[in-house]
Amino acid sequence: MRYFGDDVQGKTMPADGGATDKIIYSAPIGDEVKTTTCYMCACRCGIRVHLKDGRVRYIEGNPNHPVNKGVLCGKGSAGIMTQYSPARLQAPLKRVGPRGSGEYAEISWDEAIETATGWLKHVRETDPKKLAFFTGRDQSQSLTGFWAAQFGTPNFAAHGGFCSVNMAAGGLYTIGGSFWEFGEPDWENAKYLMIFGVAEDHDSNPIKTGLASMKGRGSKIVSVNPVRTGYSAIADEWVGIRPGTDGLFIMALIHELIRTDQVDGEFLARYTNAPWLVVRNPGGADDGLFARDADGKPLAWDRARGAIPADDVTLSAVLVGDFTLPDGRAAKPVFNLMAERYLGDEYAPEAVAERCGFPAERIRRLAAEIADVAFNQTLTLDIPWTDVWGRKHDKMVGRPVAFHAMRGISAHSNGMHTCRALHILQMVLGAVDTPGSWRYKSPFPRPIPPGPGPAGKGAKPNTPLAGNILAFTHGPDDLLVEDDGTPLRIDHSFSWEAPLGLHGMMHSVIGHAAAGDPYKIDTLFMFMANMAWNSAMNPLETIRCLTAQEENGDYVIPHVIYSDAYFSETVPYADLILPDTTYLERWDAISILDRPIGSSHGPGDAIRQPVVKPDRNVRPFQEVLIELGARLGLPAFVKEDGSPRFKDYPDYIVNHQRTPGVGPLAGWRGEDGSKKGVGEPNQDQLQRYIDNGCFWRHHLAPEESYFKHANRTYLDNAKAMGMMGNANQIVMQIWSEPLQKFRLAAEGHGAKQPPENLRERVRTYCDPLPFWYAPLEQQQHDTDPYPFSAVTQRPMAMYHSWGSMNAWLRQIHGSNKLYMSRERGTAEGLAQDDWVWVESRSGRVKAQLSLMEGVNRDTVWTWNAIGKRAGAWMLSPDAAESQRGFLLNHVISEWLPAQTGPRLANADPVTGQAAWYDLRVKVTKVAPGEEGVTDPYPTMLEPPPHMPEAIDILRYDAGGKTS
Amino acid sequence: MTSLPEALPGAKKLGLVIDLDTCVGCQACATNCKEWNTSGHMAPLPDHNPYSAGQEGVWFNRVHSYEAGEGEEGRTVHFPRSCMHCETPACVTVCPTGASYKRAEDGIVLVNTDICIGCQLCAWACPYGAREFDDDAGVMKKCTLCVDRIYNETIPEERRVPACVSTCPAQARHFGDLGDPNSDVSKLVADRGGYGLMPELDYKPVNRYLPPRLAPKADAGPPRDAGPLPSQITNPLLRWVDKVLSR
Amino acid sequence: MNPAPSIIFFTVASGAGYGLLFWMGLLRALGHLPRTAGFGALAVGLALVLVMLGLLSSTAHLGRPERAWRALSQWRSSWLSREGVAAVVTFAPAGLFFLAVIAQAEWVAVPAGLLAAAGAAVTVWCTGMIYASLPTIRQWHHPLVAPGYLLFGAFSGAALLAMLAGFWGAATLPAALAAVLGAAGFLLKRAYWASVDAGKPGSTMESATGLGFIGKVRTLDPPHTETNYLLREMAFRIGRVHAQRLRRIAALAGFVLPALLLVLALLSGGMLAAMLAVAAAGLVTLGLLAERWLMFAEATHTVALYYGVGERG
């Protein structure tokens, strides 16, 4: 230790407090530092956790980590308060009073696991699908999904269905990648970025860093977003679009580009299915399918040779024309069909302008700007590369226009087509995985669609399902439906209601289970999913379903098991609580089998290691799951003699092999740790990760870093590393044949056809080319009384974080208001801080108003998931979160407006994505005397036993005298 | 005494440069500052009612959100606010005890909490709201510019910057010697027209803010190379009929 | 600014105490006041009690009152420190003055009284300068603020003195002084209010944020959703109507009425004069409490601008 004052070359310090102020300049931060991976959101940054006297002194970004490179956001930096939250559950609990009463008895882990085993064993021995296993904000889906398949239930998903499956499906069925974990702008080279959608993004820190670097280079950033907050705040241009019309805007841009002939025809001919021939046979079973040769290869029209296999390197493709196939059928190239659609008058800027909320001239200007950058400011990198046809190129030429989309465009019932349209816009510009454009993140691109259909048919007692439960339908045969079209899954995913329900439909599980639609379940097993509050549409109805009883008094959902680290609003509705550890107390694998931390620079994955010992009677959920697997005798979790195969989660991470040589982690495989991607388990693997800062990253060579979909070097290496099954070119799909197959079924072809009440819906929405339609909910009720679109986003300091009860973050956002355009609010006679009713077709919620400039004038919005139920999360009942915080969820219906036939989820008709942002509301001032407290205001929740005493003042000082 | 120190020859003027053009309001600087400092030189930074109504604590860095200008022409600006480490800080000269002082060698304004009497006059004297009263300890606290980080020999040299700077994901915070016209931060300020807040009060704040860069006004005129108007084209696809695209 | 009762009470009480001490020291030395031990003890004693109550009250405002002694060290730069030093220094002649008037030791009482009077004036000037030296609050950073503190101290001291002297039948001079000072105080306060009302805020949200080049600046979200120390302390706002009403009360009760009562007292004499002087002193005290409350409540701090709290709340 040294005191700075002594060092100033003999100068006497002034005789002030500085002379006696004891500043310890070089105190070590802590007595120990450990690396791990952050879990304050989904970004999965590398962190260095400094410990002092066993407590967390300081969490900082790991400078060597590829995701965050040393920075750490507002959430990650507040991790200490999540670690030491008084809302942490203390011990396993058994419900002893009615559901919702909060009457619990603490039990031992033995009893907890025996209880769970008892219930689950019975289900597995009788009818495994009666287990619904849904895992909210799960970052271990490669384990949980595998466990569910081993159990034998098709009823598994995480929260993707209510988050962003439209984006995932739209991308994976179109370009073999997507935004978020699947792709990112070329931050180093892009000259123009158009970013869509409200809300934040999984890629929290890379986007912030990337935007800053683009701004530093003077690149233009355009934000298309109803609300000018967050990233939109720093955009060079803000396009305040009306929610749900992004697709229209995108298709109008495509219209303009084609109309003005600013299209990258070569890119389309080489890398997309634009030249492929589509059979034109209206009413026929082959209408809209690709013309193929005898080997099943799609055909294209060669100027000289007519129909030849589309992958022929010598193809001289004609993209427009009506052609007759050798077998006499009529066919048309995909490009022709696409151009016809988007040149249609309905997609002309004039036609869409009013709906989108800005003038047609602006759309034309933006189209011209984009085209100018793409075609007049091409970016050339002197990097030789080899294409899939074996041809060598001496440079990489790019279109430096990048697109990115956040959750906003996804959470609509027209979101899948919107996302697909955005990818088509990228293709038209030739701006997919080229220098300066949007780029795939390894391990993407993947084949389109990426793999076989979902497992779940023929579930039998005591039998695992073969394959992945969440996978990719290629056509009606892959659907999980009975012969009469009845869904096999409790959430109706992969049924005619959501044929591309890749991520499941967690938002409809509890409603369907309570209604026994299509069957009753025995056990609902959830992890980290606040379904009795902010994760549910219409939470009060969800609570009713969780507490619904049969005439004999039994609960309609007989058993509810819930695992969470904190006393969330869902805890009181479970019969058995398995308290989880915090993210700093456990092992985890950010697995390449799930959503790893790869980037455009190469594949990567990461681990968490325990850095703090739990001070409560809690166990990591994944470890409990592995033990349950062993007790239930799930084949992959027991040895031949029936004894547990894995002693704990780390053992599983290292030694589990999904296929020979492929396990949860891709780094340091092989006995000596020398192999990447594929290799035998390495007993030293976790230590190698720890030595490297808890992550692994493989760096792509320059020659394989762009055009990955058609880059011979990349594809060969990706196959060798086990990232894909073959090294074929990944041809981007403008025309989606799987969607056309569903449409054909709806038109009466094939053995599997939709039930009558869904036939027209499937025919309409399974369109092989993206189109725009008004969101379903808005089509189906009179929106005139509800003039505003209403959307939510989580604030940047809380996005995707589990637990906004964090003592520091709740000071930043302890309550939320409803934001409205100042101009509009003033016109409606509303003033800042007025209390208002926000009313939709299905209910109303009371909130306080805030007026602002940067919001579309037909849109209101609020910060989500700040409002809490009184008593939950160990906040006192008078806390602002329950008094002035409110959830818009209360006025979002989980079902589409009443109609004949079965009730349908308020969701995208193709993917089942929850349509949170289709909401329409009216806003009126409350009656005098109604101000002050939000409504609905459900009864206060009682805390479980032995939770910590409330404190009036927190003096956190790790290692200090006051800690 | 709490008179300001005489400037030492070549003494530094350490301070922050905050880029309002790239700050997205993520609050990283605020919470990272909080976690560093609550166990740092001025530990603790207490929080009242941490889990009940009226939650509030001591923070050295707070991020405001503003809107400047009207409607679409306006900007949303996230605006971090902390101590400016002024050259002529009245918070120092008004202090009756000498607890509040400005360091001669680097210009950092600090409070010696061992002798502060908690009269709070410095808070009245500070135009920027940088003073944070810890009424639990009864003393004034404030941004230390991470004086226990920036000279800390146990921290790798490149990380010896204030916590808010090292953590900022948007590269919106820079740290350096604003007294040296050749320092990176001084050059940045010169290039970008960085400014100090409320210059009319003549506190001579050292911290600088880089203004949001405004895009040139959108040109509403017809786009370049707009191609023929729709009325002139009967079928734009005809242009493609004879086009042949080779690989 | 938050009108904290401890500070309001402190400045009004100590102002009146120092004013009383000032006039006692001065007028007694000049032979204009009764030199009885009883009157001296009562008047100087009351002055000292008010001063001490005021100082005690001000230490209640401190976070660490036990360290209050440290406030004496920075007299070279800090008006607060100077006030403390002046107050402490003044206690020596004032205490001596008190003892001397009881002991009827005029050779001590006269110089001690004069020194105490000087000390009182200096102390009150320092108090005024604490406020007047803050550029962050334009209503305080005003040339009439420190003179105002002096004048109001002298006025309230004179009124108290008139009240006490009335019982000894010697109220004429202090009452006349108080009436004149009251009138002067009224004029000063009117001039001050007119001046601050006409003045424009030196800083605005635009200059506070530097964002004025884009356009009008409005808050979108505060840093934290609940309130905080700065907002409680410095973003206090009072409605215009309420302020005008209080100003009238302060002007009438604090200056006009007492001055009139004192003129009446001068004209009437005797016990009635004493009673009128008592009423006047009471009104002065109430009026000055209102004036001082307004002095805080109407003061706007630049910090409030960051929270979008402009001068007119």
Q: Mind giving me the DSSP string for chain C?
A: ----HHHHHHHHHHHHHHHHHHHHHHHHHTT-S---HHHHHHHHHHHHHHHHHHHHHHHHT-S-GGGGGGGGTTTTT-HHHHHHHHHHHHHHHHHHHHHHHHHT-HHHHHHHHHHHHHHHHHHHHHHHHHHHT-TTBTTTSSTTHHHHHHHHHHHHHHHHHHHHHHHTT--HHHHHHHHHHHHHHHHHHHHHHHHHHHSPPS--HHHHHT-TTTS-EEEEE-SSSS--HHHHHH-----HHHHHHHHHHIIIIIIIHHHHHHHHHHHH-HHHHHHHHHHHHHHHHHHHHHHHHHHHHT--BTHHHHTT--TT-
Query: Which residue from C223, C227, C302 is facing B63, i.e. has the nearest CB?
Result: C223
DSSP E strands in A488-579: the ranges are 523-527, 559-564, 576-579
Of A123-137, A786-800, A891-905, C285-299, give the lowest mean pLDDT range: A891-905
Residue among A856, A790, A853 nearest A225 (CA): A856
CA distance C193 to chain B (A): 21
From A833, A861, A837, A823, select the one nearest A934 (Cα to Cα): A837
Residue A803 pLDDT more than 80? no
Distances (CA, A) of A474 to A203, A452, A455, A471: 29, 8, 13, 10
* pLDDT band at residue B221 using 50, 70 and 90 as cut-offs: very low
- Tell me if A221 sits within 8 A of B21, measured CB to CB: no
Categorize the per-residue pLDDT at A961 as very low, low, confident or very high, splitting at 50, 70 and 90.
low
Identify which of A229, A219, A251, A226 has the alpha carbon closest to the alpha carbon of residue A240.
Answer: A226
pLDDT digits (tens, 9 = 90+) for A440-453: 999 999 999 999 99
Q: Reply yes or no on whether the pLDDT at A773 is more than 80.
A: yes
Gyration radius from chain B CA atoms: 25
Query: How many angstroms separate the CA atoms of B84 and A156, rounded?
Result: 54
- Indicate yes or no: CB of A811 within 8 angstroms of CB of C218: no
What CATH code is assigned to A93-161+459-598+620-662? 3.40.50.740
On chain C, the residues whose CB falls within 8 A of the CB of A815 are 225
Of B1, B39, B241, which is closest to A321 when you measure between CB atoms? B241
pLDDT per residue as tens digits for the range C119-164 = 999 999 999 999 999 999 999 999 999 999 999 999 999 999 999 9
The span from the first CA to the last CA of chain A, in angstroms, equals 22
Q: What does the radius of gyration of chain C's CA atoms come to, in whole angstroms?
A: 21
Per residue in C89-110, pLDDT (tens digit) is 999 999 999 999 999 999 999 9
Q: Is the pLDDT of residue A160 over 90?
A: no
Which chain C residues are closer than 8 Å to B55 by Cβ? 226
Find the CB nearest B211 among C64, C72, C213. Answer: C213
**How confident is residue B10, by pLDDT bands cut at 50, 70 and 90?**
confident
Give residue B230's pLDDT. Answer: 52
Asked if C230's CB is within 8 angstroms of B97's CB, the reply is no
| Span A658-683, pLDDT tens digits | 999 999 999 999 999 999 999 999 99
Nearest to B28 among A8, A73, A266 (CB): A73
pLDDT value, residue C269: 78
Pick the CATH number of C5-306 from 1.20.1630.10, 1.20.1530.20, 3.50.50.60, 3.30.420.40: 1.20.1630.10
CA distance A917 to A792: 8
Residue B168 has pLDDT above 60, yes or no: yes
Q: For residue B244, what pLDDT is reported?
A: 86
The amino acid at residue C10 is F
Site of tokens 């697709």: A247
Cβ-proximal residues to A292 (8 Å cutoff; 6+ apart), any chain:
A298, A299
Per residue, what are the HEC states of A844-904? EEEEEEEEECCECCCEEEEECCCCCCCCHHHCCCCCHHHHCCCCHHHHCCCECCCCCCCCC
Range list of β-strands (E), A554-655: 559-564, 576-579, 588-590, 604-608
How many cross-chain Cβ pairs, B to C, lie less than 8 Å apart? 205
Q: Confidence band (pLDDT; 50, 70, 90) for A962?
A: very low
pLDDT, tens digit, 9 for 90 and up, residues A549-569: 999 999 999 999 999 999 999
Q: Which residues are CB-neighbours of B245 under 8 A, at least 6 positions away?
A: A265, A266, A268, A269, A275, A316, A317, A318, A319
Rounded to the nearest integer, the mean pLDDT of chain B is: 92
Rounded Cα–Cα distance for residues A180 and B115 (Å): 52
Mean pLDDT value across chain C = 94
Residues A478-532 have pLDDT tens digits of 999 999 999 999 999 999 999 999 999 999 999 999 999 999 999 999 999 999 9
Q: Which residues on neighbouring strands pair with residue B102, listed in sequence order?
A: B109
Binding-site residues on chain C for chain A (CB distance < 8 A):
74, 218, 220, 223-226
Interface partners of chain A (CB pairs < 8 Å, 3 or more) are: B, C
Give the neighbours of chain B: at least 3 Cβ pairs within 8 Å. A, C
Model pLDDT for residues A272-319, shown as the tens digit of each residue? 999 999 999 999 999 999 999 999 999 999 999 999 999 999 999 999
Residues 6+ apart with CB under 8 A from B165: B16, B29, B173, B174, B175
**What is the CATH number assigned to the segment(s) B14-210?**
3.30.70.20
Task: Check whether B181 has a pLDDT greater than 70.
Answer: yes
> Is the Cα torsion angle A622, A623, A628, A629 positive or negative in sign?
positive
Q: Show Cβ contacts of residue A111 under 8 Å, excluding neighbours closer than 6 positions.
A: A92, A94
Instruction: Indicate the pLDDT class of residue A163, thresholds 50, 70 and 90.
Output: confident
Q: How far apart are CA A657 and CA C206, in angstroms?
A: 62
Across the interface, do A811 and B243 touch by the CB < 8 Å criterion? no
Domain edges within chain B: 14-210
pLDDT digits (tens, 9 = 90+) for A234-250: 999 999 999 999 999 99
Residues of B in contact with C1 (CB under 8 A): 124
Mutate to test the interface with B, among A20, A21, A256, A796 (most CBs of B within 10 A): A21
Chain B positions touching A78 (Cβ under 8 A) are 31, 34-35
Residue A461 burial (10 A CB sphere; 0-12, 13-18, 19+)? exposed
Distance to chain C for A860, nearest Cα, Å: 14
Residue in chain B nearest C134 by alpha carbon: B125
Report pLDDT digits (tens) over A324-382.
Answer: 999 999 999 999 999 999 999 999 999 999 999 999 999 999 999 999 999 999 999 99
Which ipTM score applies to this complex? 0.96
- Cβ <8 Å between B67 and C220: yes
Mutate to test the interface with A, among C225, C229, C309 (most CBs of A within 10 A): C225
Domain A779-925 -> CATH class: mainly beta
Distant-in-sequence, close-in-space partners of A267: CB < 8 Å, separation ≥ 6: A399, A427, A430, A432
Please name the amino acid found at residue B163. Answer: A
Does B1 contact C130 at a Cβ distance shorter than 8 Å?
A: no
Q: Tell how strand A401-405 and strand A192-196 pair up.
A: parallel
Please state, in angstroms and rounded to a whole number, the distance separating the CA atoms of residues C246 and C239.
11
| Selected residue of A954, A961, A962, A963 to mutate for chain B interface (largest B Cβ count, 10 A) | A954
Chain B interface disruption, residue of C211, C221, C224, C301, most B CBs within 10 A: C211
**Is residue B229 within 8 angstroms of chain A, CB to CB?**
no
Domain with CATH 3.40.50.740 in chain A: 93-161+459-598+620-662
Q: Where in chain A is the domain with CATH 2.40.40.20?
A: 779-925
Residue written as tokens 């100027």? A303
The answer to whether C293 and C220 have CB atoms below 8 angstroms apart is no
β-pair partners for A60:
A48
Strands A818-821 and A843-852: parallel
Q: Supply the pLDDT for residue C312.
A: 60
Place of tokens 């995707």: A800
Mean pLDDT over C287-293 rounds to 95
Q: Answer yes or no: is pLDDT of B220 > 50.
A: no
Q: Average pLDDT of chain A?
A: 95
Per-domain residue ranges of chain C: 5-306
Give the closest residue to A229 by CA, choosing from A408, A418, A72. Answer: A408
Q: Is the pLDDT of residue B32 over 60?
A: yes
> Two tokens at C217?
């600046």
pLDDT of residue A13: 40
* Separation in Å, CA A63 to CA A391, B159, B171: 39, 9, 14
Q: Hey, how many other C-beta atoms are within 10 angstroms of the C-beta on B125? A: 25
Judge whether A911 and A411 are in contact, CB under 8 Å: no
Contact criterion met (CB < 8 Å) for A880 and C224: no
C-alpha closest to that of B36 among B123, B161, B137: B161
pLDDT band at A840 (very low <50, low <70, confident <90, very high): very high
Confidence of residue A4 (pLDDT cuts 50, 70, 90): very low
Angle at A507 between CA A505 and CA A509, to 5 degrees: 75
Average pLDDT of the residues in A787-805: 92
Q: Cα angle at A831 between A829 and A837, to 5 degrees?
A: 80
Asked if B97 lies within 8 A of C228 by C-beta distance, the reply is no
Does this model's pTM top 0.90? yes
- For chain A, give the percent of residues with pLDDT over 70: 98
Cα A327 to Cα A331: distance, rounded to the nearest angstrom = 11
- Nearest CA distance, A242 vs chain C (angstrom): 20
Contact indicator for A609, A686 with CB cutoff of 8 Å: yes
Closest Cβ opposite residue B170 in set A60, A208, A361: A208
